[in-house]
Structure 1
Amino acid sequence: MRSVRARAAIGATLVVAVALVGAGLAVLLVLRGNLIDQTDLQAEVAAREAAGQLATGTPYEDVELDDAEDHPVQAVDEDGRVVLASEGLRAISGTESRRVAPEPPASPVPGEDDDSAADDDDAADDGGGPGRGEVSSDSPAFSDGTATVDRATADYRFAAVEATTPDGVTLTVYAGAPLAAEQEAVKTVRGAMLTGLPVLLVVVAGVTWLVTRRALRPVEGIRRELAAITASEDLARRVPEPGSRDEIAALARTTNETLTVLEASVERQRRFVADASHELRSPIASLRTQLEVAEAHPDLLDLPGAVADTVRLQALAADLLLLARLDAGEKPGGGTVELGALVREEVSQRTGDRIAVAVEVPEGGAFEVNGSRGQLARVIGNLLDNAQRHADTAVAVSVAADGRGVRVEVRDDGAGVPEDERERIFERFVRLDDARSRDDGGAGLGLAIARDVAARHGGTLGVHRAPEGGAAFRLRLPRPS
C-alpha cells in the first residue's frame, strides 16, 4: 500500500476500532455487573421475606409469596426435601433441588395443632422450648438458573437464605429474580454498539482520509514542482512554500535552500569549466603556435617560451586537480605538522623571489597542527606568491600562537585589497588587476585553493590591512585536541 493517505486512514481506523471495542466491552461488563447487582438485591429481598415468615412459625401453606413469574420461591430442609414452592412453578434449576412439589416433612409442620405442639408451647412458656426462629444474617449465596412458571421458561438469579423455624428446623430458602431486564438491556446496548461501530469507523476513516489529503496537498505541490525542475533542469525554480508553520513548510524551505545551494554549485561548476577552458586555451594555443613555427622554421623555435607555457600548463593542471579533489571532499591526512618549521622550509626554497621574505617565528615555539604537510605547504606557497606579485619592497611572514590555535600571517607593502573585494578575491579565477598579464598574474586559483585547504583543516583564511599599508593574509588553524 503506497498511499500515505490510505495507510493513515487504515491505521487510524484500526486504532479507533480497538479502542472502541475495548471501551464497548468495558461498558457492557459494567452495565451487566450493575444490573446483576440490582437483580441480586431483588432476589435477596424476596428470599428474606419468605425466610422471615418461616422463622416466625408461619405454616408452609400459609406463607405469602410473590407471583411465581416475578419471584419463584423454593424452600429445602436439611435433608434436601422441598417443603415449600411457589404456586405454578413447574420446573427449576440452579437451586439445591430440581423438585417443585412440596414433600411431607420428617418433623412436625410449623403451627400444627397436636399434643407435642401443645407441649412445646407449654415448654416455650416455661422458657425451655425452641422459642422463635431466626433468619441468617450472612450474605446470601447467588446462582444462575432457570424456572418454568406455567408454560413460560426464563432465566433467573437465585439468592439462597438460611432460616431456622421455631421448631429448630433449618431451611434454605431460594428466591429468584428474573434476568430478562438485564439481558434485554445488555442486548440493546450490544446491538447499538454493533450497529454504530461500523458507522463510526467509516466516519473516522473518511475524516482521516480527508484531513491527511488536505495536509499532504502541499507535499504533492512540492513533488510536482521538483518533477518539473528535474524535467526542465531549471534550478532557478523553487517549490511552493505553504503559509503554515508545520513540518511540511519546513520541508519546503529546506528543499528551496537545497535548490539554492545546488544552483550555486552547478553555476560555480559551469563557471569553473568555462574559466578553466579559457585559461588553458592561451598556453595551449601559444605552445601549438611555437611548435608549428618550429616545424616550418626550426631556427625560429622559442624554446624558453615553449618551456614556460608547458610549466604554466603543468601548474594549472595541478591546481585544477587539487580543486577537484577538494570539491570531492578529500580529507587531509592525519599527521602532525609544525608550522614554524614548515614556514622556514618554504621560505628557504624561494631563492628566485624578487623580494626577500622576512620570517618572524619565535625560537622554541611549538606550533603543531593536524593535517597534510603538502597541502599546508601549498597554502603558504600560494600566499607568498600572491604577496610577491603585489608587494612594492617588503614581504613578511610570521607564525604565532592564537588562543587555542596557530596563526600564520603573510604581509606585503603593496596597494592592499579594497574592503568590498576582500571576499571576492577568494573566488576561483578572480583577478582584481585586469591589466596584469596572465603570465604575471596567475590564473586566479591560488587564493581559492588556500581557503579551501584551510577550511578542510578546520581553519580560516581572511585578508586585512597590513601595518605596512598592503594586504595581510591571516591563516588560523586549530591545535591538536
Structure 2
Amino acid sequence: MTYGSRDWSKARRARDRGAKKRWSVRARTTLVASLVVSSALLLGSIIMVELLRSELTANVIETAKNESVNIVSLVQGGELPNPIPIPRGDLAAQVIAPDGKVIAFTQNLEGERPQYQFPQMKGTSQTVVRQSNNAIAQVGDHDHNYILVANRVDVAVPVETQAAKTYEVFQSKKQSKNVIFSGSTAPGNYYVYVWASLQSVDQSVRTLLLILLAGFPLLITVVVVATWLTSKKAFEAVERIRVDVDEISETNLSRRVYEPSQGDEISRLAHTMNQMLERLEISTEERKRFVADASHELKSPLSALRASLEIAIRHPDEVDWVATARTGIAESQRMQHIIEDLLLLAKADAGQLLGTFQSVDIDELAVEECQRLRALTDVRFDLSDMSAGRIQGDSERIRSVVRNLLENAVRHASSQVWVSLKAVDSHVVFQVADDGKGVREQDREKIFDRFTRLDESRSRDRGGSGLGLAIVKSIVIAHGGTISVSDNDRCGHGAQFTAVFEADSCSVLESDALPFPPLNVNNSH
C-alpha cells in the first residue's frame, strides 16, 4: 500500500514537471506565427526565383533567335563574313556547310570543330535546346550552361566565305588538329548554330538568393518579436481574467472578472463570463431562497401538527381527539400538497414534466373544476364567455393549470370569478378573472416565481403555498404557450390571468353550440 502511494506521488510530480515544461500559449502562438510566415516566405521566394529565371532565360533565347536570324540572312545572301560579327561577348555562332565543314564562326569559336550535331527535324527549320558547352565557356563561367538556337537553311547557290579558311568536321576524338578548308561551298542544307550564355541569368538568380537569404532571418526575427510583443498585452488580460475566476467561489459570486476595454474577442469573452456569473448569482440566490421558503412552508404544518399533538398528550381528558385528528390530517395534506408541488417543479426543471400528448377539451376541464369549487366557496362563477376549445397536451397537466388558476382566483376574489375560453386565429385563449384587489404592474412578472411574497392582498397565508402560479407557468411554457396577468376590465378591479395555447385542428366550436349552459349563480352550502 505504501509502495503504491509512493508511485502515485512520483507519477503526479512527473506530470506536474511535464506540465511546467510545456510551452505557454503565447510561446506557441509566436512559434506558429513564425512557422506560417517562414513557410509563406519560402514558397514566395521559390516562386520569385523561378519567375526571374524563366523571364531572364526567355530574354536570352530571344536575343539568340534574333542573332540567328541575322546570320541566316547572310547565308541566304550567298556572302558570309568570317569571323562572324556579334554584338555581345556572351554569344557564339557556327555555320556548317552541307558536307559537314565549319565555313564560318565567331571569334570565340576560332579553331573549334562543329559544336553540335543538328538533329533530324521534321517540318521545322529551327530548334532551341539547352546544353553545357565547355569549348565556348567564358572566363569565370564554371557551369557552362548555354542556350543553343539551331537553324537549317536551304541554299540554292554556293556560299562564298570572305575568309580563306574553314574547318573540317572532326572524324574521331583522336584527331587533334583542325584541317583548313578554303574556297566556295556547294548548294544544299546549311546549319546555323547560335549559342547564348546563361551566366548572366545564373548570376542574377544567385544575387537574388543572397538577398533573400540575408533578409529571411531578419524578417522572421521581426515577425517573432512583433508577435511576442503584440500577444503580451492580450495574454496579460487573459491571465488577469484567470486569476479573477480562480478567486470566485459560491460564497462570492457577486465578484466579476476584469473586462479589457479594447472591445476585441477577449473583452467579449470577459463580458460573457460576467453575464454568466450574474446568472449564476441570481440562480444561487433563488435556490437559497427556494430552499428557505420550502423549509418554512414544510415547517409550518409540521409545527402546527406537533403543537396539537403535544397539547393533546398533556391534556388527554380535555382534548377533542376527533378535532385533533382532523387537524393532523389537514396539516399532513398541506405538507403532501407542498411536496407534490415541489416534485412537479423539479420535473419541470429536469425537462420531464409532460407525459403523453392527446386531445384535451379545456372547456370540459374548466366546467368540472368550477362545479367542484362551487361546493367549497360562496364565490359566483360566470362562464357566459365560454366556448369549446381543444388542444394537444398532457391532460393531467392541463387540468393542473385550470385548477390552480381557478383556486387562485377564488382565493383572492371578493364575490365573483369570470371564466372564458375563445379561439383567436389558430390559438385557444383561456382566461380566469377575479374581482379582488388585483396585481400591481411591477409584480406581474414576479408573481409567477416560486414562493413569491407579494402584499397582503394576495398573500399565500390565505391558503396558497406560493407554488401554484409557478407550476402554471412551467406547464404552459412546456406546452408551447404563454401566460400573463393583467387588470380585470369587467369590473374595473381585480386580476385577469390569460393562458394561450396552440389550438388542435377543428377544435373550436361556435358559441351557439356550447356543450354546457353558462354558470352564473350564487352558490349556497
Are the equivalent residues in 1 in contact too, given 2:362–2:390 (CA < 8 A)? yes
Are the equivalent residues in 1 in contact too, given 2:68–2:149 (CA < 8 A)? yes
Please state if 1:77 is matched with 2:101: no
Structure-2 separation of matches of 1:181 and 1:418: 94
Equivalent position to 2:412, from 381, 390, 393: 390
Where does structure 2 lack aligned partners over 5 or more consecutive residues? 1-21, 119-123, 160-185, 506-525
Please state if 1:156 is matched with 2:146: yes
Please state if 1:346 is matched with 2:369: yes
Please state if 1:184 is matched with 2:203: yes
What's the CA shift for 1:380?
Answer: 1.8
| Structure 1 residues 92 and 221: CA distance shift in structure 2, 3 A | farther
Are the equivalent residues in 2 in contact too, given 1:378–1:450 (CA < 8 A)? yes
Equivalent position to 2:245, from 218, 226, 230: 226
Q: Which moved more, 1:6-15 or 1:170-179?
A: 6-15
Where does structure 1 lack aligned partners over 5 or more consecutive residues? 98-136
- Deviations 1:98-148 (CA, angstroms, capped at 9, x unpaired): xxxxxxxxxxxxxxxxxxxxxxxxxxxxxxxxxxxxxxx965634433132
Please state if 1:473 is matched with 2:497: yes
- Deviations 1:64-121 (CA, angstroms, capped at 9, x unpaired): 4459964333332334343445556476896228xxxxxxxxxxxxxxxxxxxxxxxx
What's the CA shift for 1:262?
Answer: 1.6
SS in 1 for 2:258: coil
Which residue of structure 2 aligns with residue 453 of structure 1?
475
Are the equivalent residues in 1 in contact too, given 2:83–2:107 (CA < 8 A)? no
SS in 1 for 2:252: coil
Are the equivalent residues in 2 in contact too, given 1:44–1:140 (CA < 8 A)? no
Structure-1 separation of matches of 2:23 and 2:389: 59
Q: Map of 1:132-211 to 2, 5 A cutoff?
A: 141-148=128-135, 154-163=144-153, 164=155, 165-166=158-159, 167-211=186-230
What's the CA shift for 1:58?
Answer: 4.5
| Structure 1 residues 194 and 366: CA distance shift in structure 2, 3 A | farther
| Structure 1 residues 323 and 54: CA distance shift in structure 2, 3 A | closer
| Structure 1 residues 92 and 271: CA distance shift in structure 2, 3 A | farther
Which residue of structure 2 aligns with residue 311 of structure 1?
333
What's the CA shift for 1:8?
Answer: 4.2
Structure-2 separation of matches of 1:43 and 1:252: 69
Please state if 1:277 is matched with 2:295: yes
| Structure 1 residues 427 and 63: CA distance shift in structure 2, 3 A | closer
Structure-2 separation of matches of 1:204 and 1:57: 66
Q: Map of 1:250-329 to 2, 5 A cutoff?
A: 250-299=268-317, 300=319, 301=321, 302-329=324-351
Structure-2 separation of matches of 1:245 and 1:480: 49
Please state if 1:404 is matched with 2:391: no
- Deviations 1:290-320 (CA, angstroms, capped at 9, x unpaired): 3334445444242221121111111111122
What TM-score do you get using the length of structure 1 for normalisation?
0.79
What's the CA shift for 1:343?
Answer: 0.7
Task: Compute the RMSD of aligned alpha carbons.
Answer: 3.4
Equivalent position to 2:42, from 11, 14, 21: 21
Which residue of structure 1 aligns with residue 183 of structure 2?
none
| Structure 1 residues 193 and 94: CA distance shift in structure 2, 3 A | farther
| Structure 1 residues 278 and 67: CA distance shift in structure 2, 3 A | closer
Equivalent position to 2:441, from 406, 409, 419: 419
SS in 2 for 1:224: helix
| Structure 1 residues 221 and 352: CA distance shift in structure 2, 3 A | farther
How many residue pairs align between the two structures?
439
Are the equivalent residues in 2 in contact too, given 1:40–1:142 (CA < 8 A)? no
Are the equivalent residues in 2 in contact too, given 1:226–1:239 (CA < 8 A)? yes
SS in 2 for 1:350: helix
Please state if 1:241 is matched with 2:259: yes
SS in 2 for 1:148: coil
Structure-2 separation of matches of 1:13 and 1:47: 50
Structure-2 separation of matches of 1:50 and 1:314: 117
Are the equivalent residues in 1 in contact too, given 2:344–2:353 (CA < 8 A)? no
Which residue of structure 1 aligns with residue 170 of structure 2?
none
Aligned partner letter, 2:38 = A
- Deviations 1:366-409 (CA, angstroms, capped at 9, x unpaired): 41223222222222222222222222222232212233322222
| Structure 1 residues 67 and 349: CA distance shift in structure 2, 3 A | closer
| Structure 1 residues 73 and 280: CA distance shift in structure 2, 3 A | same
What's the CA shift for 1:271?
Answer: 0.5
What's the CA shift for 1:206?
Answer: 3.6
| Structure 1 residues 317 and 76: CA distance shift in structure 2, 3 A | same
Q: Which moved more, 1:39-48 or 1:458-467?
A: 39-48
What TM-score do you get using the length of structure 2 for normalisation?
0.73
SS in 2 for 1:349: helix
Structure-1 separation of matches of 2:268 and 2:504: 38
Please state if 1:443 is matched with 2:461: no
Structure-2 separation of matches of 1:94 and 1:7: 59
Aligned partner letter, 1:156 = Y
What's the CA shift for 1:273?
Answer: 0.6
Which residue of structure 1 aligns with residue 516 of structure 2?
none
Are the equivalent residues in 2 in contact too, given 1:367–1:406 (CA < 8 A)? yes
Aligned partner letter, 1:275 = D
Are the equivalent residues in 1 in contact too, given 2:95–2:191 (CA < 8 A)? yes
